[in-house]
Structure 1
């Protein structure tokens, strides 16, 4: 799908039905024909449009001298729709292509990151500012998503204090997986932001540099928060794994004690039931011998603190 935006006289963004100078072209899940149309019209490498559609593509910045265009790829978080049991997140790439006279954004998933940008006044001629605004929106989305993840973690942890189920552990596992995606993508995004600061193909003005510094701070904050939540989650899962192991050991100890006490009467009755010469005992005496052996075994185990 292709959506084209241009500036109105009031510098608001309005949709346009054709390509023109200083416009913004937003591609969401484009078809092959749409990709070829945009690449041919704006004279950009077709790879610049194809690469951001690859879910495995890593964040980076690339410049093409022949067409004087720059591709910036950054990862942003979305809900993993393949996981229905709980809310899990993955990261997907978004591409921003800048050149004289146009801005192109490409993504393989529908998203709402541009809503605030569309609904405010913005000069599309300020291409470097547009790039930084998009990347700042990405970093902000990470921080907002991390807050949601932490609230969910606290909720699960509270439920774990009352009852321990495999469903809750599965939810913690999904949160941990989401944080791994975040940390990997945020690290790559941070490297890309640093390269933008040193890049000669992207002209930054003084106001842009201030925005870039805010972007670096926001991305670093997201990275630090992700690392903190990851360590907390590892501690929680490790503690509950030890708790599960301890409960299993207690269950096995109880079952073993039951086995021992049930085996002793069986041993006594089997012994006196053999067809050999033994002292004559009534059935009450046989039961008495069994109880004596059970009592002596109980005292022995009690001295060794087995019942604690």
Structure 2
């Protein structure tokens, strides 16, 4: 799908039908025919349009001298549709292409990042500043998604205090997976932002440099927050693993004690139930009480011994 925008005099983005100079072409999951059309109309290398559609594409900057086009690939966060019960996230690449007369963004899915840029007052004639606005919107999306993940973590942590279930552990694993995606992508985006400061193909004015500094600050904040939440989750996982092991040990200890105390009477009764001559005759009226007394004495001796060893 292709949508074309151009800024009005006030900076508000307006959708237009035909191609014009200084416009913004937004491509979402484009077909091969659409890719070829944009590559020809905007004089853009076709690989600049195809590479961001590869979900494994890494964040980078690439400049083509022949067409004087610059490709900026960044990773942005989106919801993971494979787990609708939990707000987990993955990251996908988005391409920002700065041509002679056009700005082109290309992504494999529709995202909130582009929607947020559309709501802003941006000038498509200022190509470099427009690209920085997109990068800032991407960094802001990470911060928002991290806040959502932290809210889910707090909710799960409260539920863990009452009971521990496999579902809760699975939810923690999903949050950890999202944080791994975020940290990897944020660090890659940070490398791209650093290269923008010394890139010769992108000319930055003073206001642009201030905006780029804001992008860097937001991205660094995202990295620090992600690392913090990762450490907190590691601590929670380690603590609850210790609690689970401790509860299992206590359960095994209780079962072992029950087994020992149930074995002692069985041992006494089996001994006096043998079909051989024994000190106590079965004809004596106190023989049953005697066997019970011997069992009780033996259980008390074992109990006192275990208590002194602090096994109880």
TM-score bucket (shorter structure): over 0.9
Q: How does 1:1-308 map to 2 (within 5 A)?
A: 1-281=1-281, 282-307=287-312
CA drift of 1:10 comes to: 4.0
Describe the SS at the equivalent of 2:113.
coil
Distance 1:183 1:10 in 2: 37
Could you tell me how far 1:150 is from its partner in structure 2?
1.0
- Separation (CA, whole Å) in 2 of partners of 1:243 and 1:153: 18
**Per-residue displacement from partner, 1:213-265 (whole Å, max 9, x unpaired)?**
11111111110111111111100110001000100100010011111111111
Please report how far the alpha carbon of residue 114 of structure 1 lies from its aligned counterpart in structure 2 after TM superposition: 2.4
CA separation in 2, counterparts of 1:116 and 1:58? Answer: 23
Q: Give me the whole-angstrom Cα distance separating, in 2, the residues matched to 1:193 and 1:8.
A: 29
- Cα distance in 2 between the residues matched to 1:174 and 1:121: 36
Taking a change above 3 Å as real, the CA distance of residues 163 and 51 of structure 1, as seen in their structure-2 partners, is: same
Q: What SS class does the counterpart of residue 161 from structure 1 fall into?
A: helix
Secondary structure, counterpart of 2:125 in structure 1: coil
CA distance in 2, matches of 1:108, 1:262: 67
State the shift of 1:73 in Å.
Answer: 0.5
| C-alpha distance 10-224 of structure 1, shift in aligned 2 (>3 A) | closer
Q: RMSD across aligned C-alpha pairs, in angstroms? A: 1.2
| Range with greater deviation from structure 2 (62-71 or 275-284) | 275-284
Determine if contact 2:42/2:101 at 8 Å carries over to the other structure: no
Residues 14-59 of structure 1, C-alpha deviation per residue, up to 9 Å, x if partnerless? 1112222111000111111111111122121111111111111111
Cα separation, 2, equivalents of 1:208 and 1:111: 24
Q: What corresponds to 2:284 in structure 1?
A: none
Aligned equivalents of 1:76, 1:164: Cα separation in 2 = 33
| SS of the residue 1:113 aligns to | helix
TM-score (norm 1): 0.97
Q: Hey, what's the Cα distance between the residues in 1 that align with 2:13 and 2:216?
A: 27
- Partners of 2:104 and 2:267 lie apart in 1 by 84
Q: Write the distance in 1 (CA, Å) between the matches of 2:186 and 2:60.
A: 12
Distance 1:158 1:250 in 2: 24
* 1:142 counterpart SS class: helix
Cα distance in 2, alignment partners of residues 115 and 140 from structure 1:
13
Question: 2 CA distance for matches of 1:244 and 1:9?
Answer: 64
Give the secondary structure class of the aligned counterpart of 1:114: helix
- How big is the shift at 1:120? 3.6
SS of equivalent to 2:204: coil
TM-score normalised over the length of structure 2: 0.95
1:159-196 per-residue CA deviation (whole Å, 9 max, x = no partner) reads 11122121111111111111111100000000000111
Question: Any conservation in 1 of the 2:116–2:137 contact (CA below 8 Å)?
Answer: no
